[in-house]
Structure 1
Amino acid sequence: MKKKIGLLYGGKSAEHKVSLQTALAVINALDYEKFEIYPIYITEQGEWIKGPLLEGKVETVAALQFSNGESLPPTALAPALFTADSQNAPFDIIFPLLHGPNGEDGTVQGLLELLNLPYVGNGVLASSAGMDKVIMKNIFAQAGLPQVNYVWFIRSEWEHNPVAAYEKVEADIGYPCFVKPANLGSSVGISKCTNREELVTAFKEAFQFDRKIIIEQGVTAREVELGVIGNDLPECSVAGEIIPKVEFYDYKAKYEDGNTALVIPAEITEAEYKLLEGLAKRAYKALDCSGLVRADFFLTKDGKAYINEVNTMPGFTPFSMFPLLWKHTGVDYPQLIERLVQLGIERYDEKQRIKYTF
């Protein structure tokens, strides 16, 4: 029997376009002999539209943005949305291909938990904590993971006394520093600052995308990343290094102008790899992750490693870092997708062992 997969993509997020590219890649990589694939497109306005059963590969993202599909509110927990066919046969698994808020942050995962449906990727806690950089770093600090210094602010605090916020950054962090929205990925809204004028502009930019921002100390280091997959027993890929041709690895460098080089495997020593592997697994377990993450590190010339963040739904096209890391580890793109589907089913089966009566 073919497994019935519901693909969730799009989303009410600044990373909507990234999600569409991810969905297109996954749809064209899945084995149609093994899976029935049902697309569910979430518009930028938050409308959920169920598309027809896919019969084969799709050429463009435009074909995945349905204008005449069946529109249903997820809050109604409508059976027709979360079942695969007219006979209301349940999906075997849901695959959320959502990046950023309203999808990668635990909201959709919570809905799927309430529906008691298996799904690919991280659960509610890991997704929400991994989305909020402040919460994530606080958990990493409690777990004893090495990090660069950071401070954070909410918008109302900054609006009440902006000068005090800038002075705190200068006293606790200094320059250079990086200003980021706390709850966003794909390097959206991030700025590098070397003086007060740039800091003021960066605060204004970041607060456009979130009510909370984080400011991190700049460090002279290489940017090295590992892919992690698994549930209770995570495994790590080879390491990869990002070498931006611009000042830092921003949104344009990632998705638009190609101003970056990915070196896989990274040219690091065995001891450095073992250090990063150990930190990646500790971070994975600290957040109680499942399915997949990409773990990002700073590696200095003297061999010190600092964890920057983990991404609980990393870029997932065949040309993104996470799939490329696993390709160089010996797991190609279609195999990786199937492995993640299996991990989602295994985690669901494990959770069914929990007793809810006494």
Structure 2
Amino acid sequence: MTATPAPEAPSAGARPRVLLLFGGRSSEHPISCVTAAGVLHAADPQRWDVVPVGVARSGLWSHDELDVAAFRLDGETLPEVPEPEAPVSLRTLPDGTVELTAEDGSSLGRVDVVFPLLHGPWGEDGTLQGMFESLGLPYVGCGVLASAVGMDKHFMKVAFQAAGLEVGPWETITDRDWARDPEAALARAGALAFPLFVKPARGGSSFGITRVSDPADLRAAIEEARRFDPKVVVEAGIVGREIECAVLDGHASDAPRASLPGEIVVKHDEGDLQFYNFQAKYQDDDAAQLSCPAELPEEQTRRLRELAVRAFEAVDGSGLGRCDFFHTPDGRWVVNEINTMPGFTPISMYPAMWERTGLSYDALISELLDLALERGVGLH
């Protein structure tokens, strides 16, 4: 079955109307807000009519006046979408047109495509994508299945293994595991080689992640991860360089494209920074530096770009994805994860890698929107 075409394309000369959706109910709410600021600033106003809509912590949508362009992460207070006094929503008209509507049912104009910049659960995990599919509304990024698999670190690893990619040793602790027999869960996780990284299975932006060197600290680390997700993944630490690659879908039947690889070089200050955490990613410009292209032999660079595309296709990716790998001292590539909606903040890896591969920030945004409109919705 072919993709369902976008309903009622804009008339000749009209700019497609883009719903820029940000905020959301997850712990990554402030990251999403700042990402929206970056995209709003860079989107070509000659090509796109961008309408920002924030999703408050309650899940209600706000079209109130928001100074989106002023959102930043370096202030004392993280950016937040306020609870709306008059929530807005989407509806599909009989002719297939999708429009933004006010609480009283009045129209706030058509929507041609969505750029959903929500990270984490209730945004990046397939739930929102399913709503767009039901509405018949094209959207940027991965579909329902790829979004769900890419959000869940357990099933992501299973998909990678099925595609012949190497993944590191891990254990999954479900909510039921922890409720029934926490000691058995601790024993399974503790059998992995230390140090361990304990993570919420469906989280991101380093929220709830703990590096564990002492087995005595494992229980507390699991409880910390469970504050963000009742399902926890415990990974054995892997010795190797952390190198990433950005993937951008191809047009029509063209293969996905992979950027030059990038490497985050984290500055260790007397042992205080043990991994690439929230502060290093978003709040401290001096904590880490991007080396792109990463210093690798040409053959290894070529191999990584091939593996990144394979990882993207392993989860049935579309639109975009950032694939993270470990490069071990003996030359192996171990895939860590794929992020199906990577950040677009000024210091985010995904746009930075494409910038250094030759695709500018504003051109990347237009390319993603073009891909979304071309793909449409429905089965592919």
Q: Deviations over 1:125-155 (max 9, x none)?
A: 0001000010111111111111111110112
Give the equivalent residue in structure 1 for 2:189.
169
Measure how far apart 1:67 and its partner are. Answer: 6.0
| Superposition RMSD in Å | 2.4
Work out the CA distance in 1 between the residues paired with 2:58 and 2:294.
Answer: 40
Give the equivalent residue in structure 1 for 2:70.
59
The answer to whether the aligner puts 1:255 opposite 2:282 as a matched pair is: yes
Q: Deviations over 1:198-238 (max 9, x none)?
A: 21111110011101011111111000000000145200001
**Shift in alpha-carbon separation, 1:162–1:64, aligned structure 2, 3 A:** closer
Amino acid at match of 2:274: E
Is the contact made by 1:11 and 1:103 (CA closer than 8 Å) also made in structure 2?
A: yes
Amino acid at match of 2:237: G
Work out the CA distance in 1 between the residues paired with 2:249 and 2:179.
Answer: 43
Amino acid at match of 1:203: I
**Shift in alpha-carbon separation, 1:130–1:65, aligned structure 2, 3 A:** same
Q: 1:287 aligns with which of 315, 320, 336?
A: 315
Is the contact made by 2:200 and 2:225 (CA closer than 8 Å) also made in structure 1?
A: yes
The answer to whether the aligner puts 1:310 opposite 2:338 as a matched pair is: yes
**Normalized against structure 2, the TM-score is what?**
0.85
Give the equivalent residue in structure 2 for 1:220.
239
Amino acid at match of 1:20: C
The answer to whether the aligner puts 1:235 opposite 2:262 as a matched pair is: no
Q: 1:127 aligns with which of 147, 164, 172?
A: 147
**Normalized against structure 1, the TM-score is what?**
0.90
SS, match of residue 246 in structure 2 = strand
Give the equivalent residue in structure 2 for 1:150.
170
Amino acid at match of 1:181: P
Q: 1:71 aligns with which of 87, 91, 115?
A: 87
Is the contact made by 1:166 and 1:196 (CA closer than 8 Å) also made in structure 2?
A: no
Work out the CA distance in 2 between the residues paired with 1:214 and 1:328.
Answer: 33
**Shift in alpha-carbon separation, 1:92–1:158, aligned structure 2, 3 A:** same
Measure how far apart 1:87 and its partner are. Answer: 6.0
Is the contact made by 1:240 and 1:262 (CA closer than 8 Å) also made in structure 2?
A: yes
Is the contact made by 2:98 and 2:112 (CA closer than 8 Å) also made in structure 1?
A: no
Work out the CA distance in 1 between the residues paired with 2:218 and 2:84.
Answer: 46
Q: 1:184 aligns with which of 188, 193, 203?
A: 203
**Shift in alpha-carbon separation, 1:142–1:327, aligned structure 2, 3 A:** same
How many percent identity over aligned positions? 41
Name structure 1 gaps, 5 residues minimum.
none
Measure how far apart 1:160 and its partner are. Answer: 2.6
The answer to whether the aligner puts 1:113 opposite 2:141 as a matched pair is: no
Measure how far apart 1:119 and its partner are. Answer: 0.6
SS, match of residue 6 in structure 1 = strand
Is the contact made by 2:92 and 2:135 (CA closer than 8 Å) also made in structure 1?
A: no
Is the contact made by 2:242 and 2:264 (CA closer than 8 Å) also made in structure 1?
A: yes
Give the equivalent residue in structure 1 for 2:213.
194
SS, match of residue 71 in structure 1 = coil
Work out the CA distance in 2 between the residues paired with 1:64 and 1:247.
Answer: 28
Q: 2:328 aligns with which of 274, 288, 300?
A: 300
Measure how far apart 1:33 and its partner are. Answer: 2.1
**Shift in alpha-carbon separation, 1:64–1:162, aligned structure 2, 3 A:** closer
User: Relative contact order: is structure 1 or structure 2 higher (C-alpha 8 Å, sep ≥ 6)?
Assistant: 2
SS, match of residue 238 in structure 1 = coil
Is the contact made by 2:198 and 2:221 (CA closer than 8 Å) also made in structure 1?
A: yes
Amino acid at match of 1:142: A
The answer to whether the aligner puts 1:209 opposite 2:210 as a matched pair is: no
Is the contact made by 2:60 and 2:84 (CA closer than 8 Å) also made in structure 1?
A: no
Q: Deviations over 1:7-38 (max 9, x none)?
A: 11000010000000000111111122222111
Work out the CA distance in 1 between the residues paired with 2:55 and 2:107.
Answer: 23
SS, match of residue 313 in structure 1 = coil
Measure how far apart 1:120 and its partner are. Answer: 0.6
Is the contact made by 2:88 and 2:100 (CA closer than 8 Å) also made in structure 1?
A: no
Of stretches 272-281 and 88-97 in structure 1, the one that deviates more from structure 2 is: 88-97
Measure how far apart 1:73 and its partner are. Answer: 5.4
Work out the CA distance in 1 between the residues paired with 2:197 and 2:83.
Answer: 40
Amino acid at match of 2:150: G
Of stretches 156-165 and 132-141 in structure 1, the one that deviates more from structure 2 is: 156-165
